[in-house]
């Protein structure tokens, strides 16, 4: 099962028949495995990694460090939920160290993101401090180097 997940994590477009061959299972078994993994929410979505900058978009990405006052009974979870339900919020992690939540936000402009932080995030009860860092350039994302010029330099035929 791990091998199936590893293949799909890298390329979710591999066909069921290819997966069946690669993993020495029947297509029926592969379909069942995938259905079960989806049902158990182990497989959550089939995304595509896109270099939006190359496409021409100039979105702004900000990484926000947030300090919280934990709530009785809920700890950080309730506040994290209030934050992650915003569409603008792409990623939320609970962290060890000098701050509590690491939040990644995407917006159309610096102003829009700054606005969102000051009006929506900072104002949430329990948020004591925010520090915003704007991303300047992405080199590698989810294990993929964005501008990779390594290519197949092998001879077409060799012994």
Partner 1 sequence: MIWSNKLSNSVQSIAPSGIRKFFDIAAKMKDVISLGVGEPDFVTPWTIRESCVYGLERGYTSYTANRGTLELREEIARHYKNRYALNYDVDKEILVTVGVSEALDIALRAIINPGDEVLIPEPCYVSYQACTILAGGVPISVPAKIENEFRITPEELEPHVTNKTKAILIGYPNNPTGAIMERADLIKLADFAEAHDLVVISDEIYGDLTYKGVHECFAALPKMKDRTILLNGFSKAYAMTGWRIGYALSNPDFIGAMTKIHQYTMLCAPITAQMAAVEALRHGEKYMKKMVAEYDRRRNLIYDGFNKMGLNCFEPRGAFYIFPDISSSGLTSEEFAEKLIQAEHVALVPGSAFGKSGANHVRCSYATNIEKISEALNRIEHFLTRIR
- Say how many residues make up the chain: 159
Query: 14 vs 124, which CB is nearer to partner 1?
Result: 14
Q: Does 18 bind partner 1 (CB under 8 A)?
A: yes
Helix, strand or coil, per DSSP, at residue 6: helix
Q: Is residue 24 involved in binding partner 1 (CB under 8 A)?
A: yes
Kind plus residue range of the DSSP H or E element containing 53: helix 52-55
Helix (H, G, I), strand (E, B) or coil at 3: helix
Number of neighbouring beta carbons within 10 Å of residue 46: 9
Among 58, 87, 142, 150, binds partner 1 (CB under 8 A): 150
- Region from 29-37, 55-63, 100-108, 147-155 binding partner 1, contact rule CB under 8 A: 147-155
- String marking each residue 56-95 x if it binds partner 1 according to CB under 8 A: ----------------------------------------
How many other CB atoms sit within 10 Å of the CB of residue 117? 21
Query: CA–CA separation, 141 vs 153, rounded Å?
Result: 24
For the bound state, the minimum distance from the C-beta of residue 42 to partner 1, rounded and expressed in Å, comes to: 20
Q: Where do contacts with partner 1 occur on this chain (CB under 8 A)?
A: 3, 7, 11, 14, 18, 21-24, 150, 152, 154-159
């Amino acid at each position: 099962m791990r091998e199936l997940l590893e293949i799909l994590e890298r390329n979710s477009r591999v066909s069921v028949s290819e997966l069946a061959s690669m993993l020495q299972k029947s297509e029926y078994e592969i379909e069942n495995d995938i259905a079960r993994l989806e049902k158990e929410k182990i497989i959550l979505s089939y995304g595509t990694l896109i270099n939006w900058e190359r496409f021409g978009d100039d979105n702004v990405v900000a990484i926000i460090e947030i300090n919280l006052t934990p709530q009785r009974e809920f700890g950080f979870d309730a506040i994290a939920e209030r934050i992650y339900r915003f569409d603008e919020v792409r990623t939320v992690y609970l962290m060890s160290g000098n701050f509590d939540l690491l939040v990644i936000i995407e917006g159309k402009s610096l102003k829009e993101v700054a606005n969102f932080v000051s009006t929506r995030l900072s104002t949430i009860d329990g948020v004591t401090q925010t520090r915003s860092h704007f991303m300047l350039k992405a080199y590698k994302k989810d294990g993929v180097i964005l501008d990779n010029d390594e290519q197949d330099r092998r001879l077409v035929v060799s012994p």
